[in-house]
Amino acid sequence: MLKDLLEEFILELQMQNYSPRTIKSYKNNNLLMFTFGKLTNIKRLHIEVSM
């Protein structure tokens, strides 16, 4: 589910003509965040409470 959202986000960036390096950076940062969330067992509730 998160990867689908990330792909939609990447497509949106491409349509808005963001540079390839910016898109790569955003994608890598989001993938790192997803990995961190999996490794630390972060749930949606944790994110909602923090906001």
Domain segments of the chain as ranges: 2-50
Residue linked to tokens 């940062």:
29
| pTM recorded for the entire structure | 0.71
Give residue-wise pLDDT tens across range 11-48: 999 999 999 999 999 999 999 988 887 778 777 665 66
